[in-house]
Chains A and B, each alone.
Chain A
Amino acid sequence: MALKTEEMTLNLGPQHPSTHGVLRLELKLDGEFIVDVIPHIGYLHRCFEKHAEAMTYPQIIPYTDRMDYLASMYNEFGYVVTVEKLLGLEVPERVEYIRVIMGELQRIASHLVALGTYGADIGAITPFLFCFRDREKILSLFEMTSGARLLYNYIWIGGVARDLPPDFLRLTKEFIVYFRPKIKELNDLLTFNKIFIERTANIGILPKDVAVNYGITGPMLRASGMKWDLRKDDTYSVYNKFDFDIPVGEGRMGTVGDCWDRYFVRILEMEQSLKIIEQAINQIPDGDVTSAIPKRVKPPVGQVYVRVENPRGELGYFIVSDGTLNPKRIKVRAPSFVNLAVISKLCNGHMIADVIAILGSIDIVLGEVDR
């Protein structure tokens, strides 16, 4: 008698510990092996783009916070840069420096969540709490500056909400001194752990050309060996004044573009961000941070697409203005949304546990995927 076998369908999510939110992955399984992965998104769709059409430009800023809630500062940053380009607005130099410092601190905070939860996905809980312990310190800096810990509404069109508090630069310097050894601690505990390497090296390999074709950006693209960072390649704000490297994946533990590379690129990026913050603190000029904030934001008719290097990749805002106080259309090119699309390509032939490893290495934020 011939035995009959059939594929098993397993719904990973919408409520699942390691989908990082409400994502549903429909897995087609052959035993423990993946035949196909079909992502279903939209559980967190909050109609950001529709809401934005009914609001004035400054009113939209708090809503951008709520998209990628782990990198709120950078979402505001991207949005105001776009609107300023549409308005043709010049902002004071001090504002640009503040934005860069905030953006890079946010990048570290966001990467800490990515790395920590990745460790938790692989089964190591302790690095997760270590990362959150350090992230708390950054959040305290943000709280001191903007009054909020997660959703800041700090970077405004033409400036920032208020100047840095007096102690901020000193505390940030102290944080840098504190944080550098913590990266080494994380490396010792997790990055170079044999089991961790076994679980992530040679898993979910993403070649460079596929990555570009799928529109993958950010640490994921760099892990595939492409030196591409909008802070250098399509520079904005004052990033051209700083000296920093773009880390790329080298396939140190396996193949270029595997999960371990994606993880390690983020570690290296944190070090580069520290470097940028250090330089920015030393160079920051004095000045008024609210002088250029326009009383009424009414851009001329036109459209503009501006992109910035969010912790997760290329965050683009496409704004169409019809000359009124409300935008006619805002479309967000959300890096998580784009990066997630490649998952079915990465997972084929791997096991269930690898799907978790791959999903974690993409580092999605569902608030941004669904907007």
Chain B
Amino acid sequence: MTEKEIFEILKEKFCETIIEFVEAEAGENYIKVNPLEIDKVCSFLFIDNILQFDSLMNLSAVDDANGEKKTEEDGSFEYIGGTLSVFYHLESTDKRHKITLGTTVEKDKPDVVSVTDVWEHANWHEREAFDLLGINFLNHPDLRRILMPYDWDAGYPLRKDYKDPDYYQGMKVPY
């Protein structure tokens, strides 16, 4: 099944949740979904007999870097506003089709519903996205930092405007 056909099925089932079909200049297209309804879409994709998306290949979060850039005197900068995105690459090992879902949230309130109930695989990827980009996955069973130290409180390193703290646990960070 092609992405377009899957999009039509989804559009019919969830009319207001599915926002649009994004056609990319290069690379791959994706279906944009409402962040607070993503779990429903995903469990439908998982359960539906025709679609059977039994495998989540990858889950990645991206800082869109599209806020208003405010540069300070020392060259460091900050984005005011802007969005974060999460991309879900799904695949059906049986039907052999693939699809990409995307969702976009405001940086100030980055709430996305977790899909860990659908695919256990999402568990660690969501923790990673929380750890590195600060996306708050609702209903996640165990949302802790995973790659950074558990007591890291200097923000989320993969955000474009992340700044190293001066000290961590009394140790100087920039060296």
Q: How large is the interface on B (under 10, 10 to 19, 20 to 34, 35 or more residues)?
A: 35 or more
Q: In this assembly, does A242 line the interface, its C-beta being within 8 Å of a C-beta of chain B?
A: no
Given A42-B149, A88-B26, are A316 and B57 also a contact pair (CB < 8 Å)? yes
Q: In this assembly, does B89 line the interface, its C-beta being within 8 Å of a C-beta of chain A?
A: yes
Could you tell me if B121 and A338 are in contact, using CB atoms closer than 8 angstroms? yes
**When A and B form their complex, what is the total count of cross-chain residue pairs whose Cβ atoms lie within 8 Å?**
106
**Which chain B residue shows the least CB distance to A213?**
B120
Could you tell me if B89 and A45 are in contact, using CB atoms closer than 8 angstroms? no
Which of chain B's residues 130-175 have a Cβ closer than 8 Å to chain A? Answer: 132, 145-149, 157-158, 160, 162
Q: How far is the CA of A305 from the CA of B88 in the complex (A)?
A: 10
- Residues of A contacting B149 with CB < 8 Å? 42
Could you tell me if A303 and B93 are in contact, using CB atoms closer than 8 angstroms? no
- Residues of B contacting A301 with CB < 8 Å? 24-26
- Residues of A contacting B54 with CB < 8 Å? 212-213
Q: How far is the CA of A106 from the CA of B30 in the complex (A)?
A: 34
Which of chain A's residues 203-241 have a Cβ closer than 8 Å to chain B? Answer: 210, 212-215, 226, 228, 233
Could you tell me if B55 and A304 are in contact, using CB atoms closer than 8 angstroms? no
**B126 → A minimal CB distance (Å):** 11
- Residues of B contacting A87 with CB < 8 Å? 26
Q: In this assembly, does A50 line the interface, its C-beta being within 8 Å of a C-beta of chain B?
A: yes
Q: How far is the CA of A53 from the CA of B132 in the complex (A)?
A: 14
Interface of A: prevailing SS: mixed
Q: In this assembly, does A199 line the interface, its C-beta being within 8 Å of a C-beta of chain B?
A: no
Could you tell me if A42 and B57 are in contact, using CB atoms closer than 8 angstroms? no
Q: In this assembly, does A302 line the interface, its C-beta being within 8 Å of a C-beta of chain B?
A: yes
Could you tell me if B157 and A305 are in contact, using CB atoms closer than 8 angstroms? no
- Residues of A contacting B56 with CB < 8 Å? 215
Could you tell me if A341 and B148 are in contact, using CB atoms closer than 8 angstroms? no
Which residue, of B25, B27, B28, has the highest number of chain A Cβ atoms within 10 A?
B27
- Residues of B contacting A328 with CB < 8 Å? 62, 65
**Which chain A residue shows the least CB distance to B24?**
A302
Q: How far is the CA of A76 from the CA of B96 in the complex (A)?
A: 26
**Which chain B residue shows the least CB distance to A301?**
B25
Q: In this assembly, does A159 line the interface, its C-beta being within 8 Å of a C-beta of chain B?
A: no
Q: In this assembly, does B21 line the interface, its C-beta being within 8 Å of a C-beta of chain A?
A: no
Q: How far is the CA of A338 from the CA of B125 in the complex (A)?
A: 8
Could you tell me if A331 and B27 are in contact, using CB atoms closer than 8 angstroms? no
Given A47-B157, A213-B120, are A314 and B25 also a contact pair (CB < 8 Å)? no
- Residues of B contacting A248 with CB < 8 Å? none
Could you tell me if B132 and A49 are in contact, using CB atoms closer than 8 angstroms? yes
**Which chain B residue shows the least CB distance to A333?**
B58
Which of chain A's residues 64-96 have a Cβ closer than 8 Å to chain B? Answer: 85-88
Q: In this assembly, does B123 line the interface, its C-beta being within 8 Å of a C-beta of chain A?
A: yes
Which of chain A's residues 30-56 have a Cβ closer than 8 Å to chain B? Answer: 41-42, 45, 47, 49-50, 53
**A49 → B minimal CB distance (Å):** 6
- Residues of A contacting B7 with CB < 8 Å? none
- Residues of B contacting A302 with CB < 8 Å? 24-28
Q: How far is the CA of A301 from the CA of B28 in the complex (A)?
A: 11
Could you tell me if A303 and B57 are in contact, using CB atoms closer than 8 angstroms? no
Which of chain B's residues 42-79 have a Cβ closer than 8 Å to chain A? Answer: 54-58, 60-63, 65
**A214 → B minimal CB distance (Å):** 5
- Residues of B contacting A50 with CB < 8 Å? 157-158, 162
- Residues of A contacting B65 with CB < 8 Å? 322, 328
Could you tell me if A307 and B123 are in contact, using CB atoms closer than 8 angstroms? no
**Which chain A residue shows the least CB distance to B157?**
A50
Q: In this assembly, does B14 line the interface, its C-beta being within 8 Å of a C-beta of chain A?
A: no
Could you tell me if A213 and B119 are in contact, using CB atoms closer than 8 angstroms? yes
Could you tell me if B93 and A41 are in contact, using CB atoms closer than 8 angstroms? no
- Residues of B contacting A316 with CB < 8 Å? 57-58, 89
Q: How far is the CA of A341 from the CA of B56 in the complex (A)?
A: 14
Q: How far is the CA of A329 from the CA of B119 in the complex (A)?
A: 24
Given A300-B25, A303-B27, are A318 and B60 also a contact pair (CB < 8 Å)? yes
Could you tell me if B147 and A45 are in contact, using CB atoms closer than 8 angstroms? yes
Interface residues of chain B, those whose CB is within 8 Å of chain A, are 24-28, 30, 54-58, 60-63, 65, 87, 89, 93, 96, 100, 119-121, 123-124, 132, 145-149, 157-158, 160, 162
Interface residues of chain A, those whose CB is within 8 Å of chain B, are 41-42, 45, 47, 49-50, 53, 85-88, 210, 212-215, 226, 228, 233, 299-305, 307, 314, 316, 318-322, 328-329, 331, 333, 337-338, 341-342, 370-371
Q: List 11 A-B contacts (CB under 8 A).
A: A86-B27, A213-B54, A214-B119, A214-B121, A301-B26, A302-B24, A307-B58, A318-B89, A319-B27, A329-B63, A338-B124
Q: Which 3 A-B pairs have the closest CB atoms?
A: A215-B121, A302-B26, A304-B27
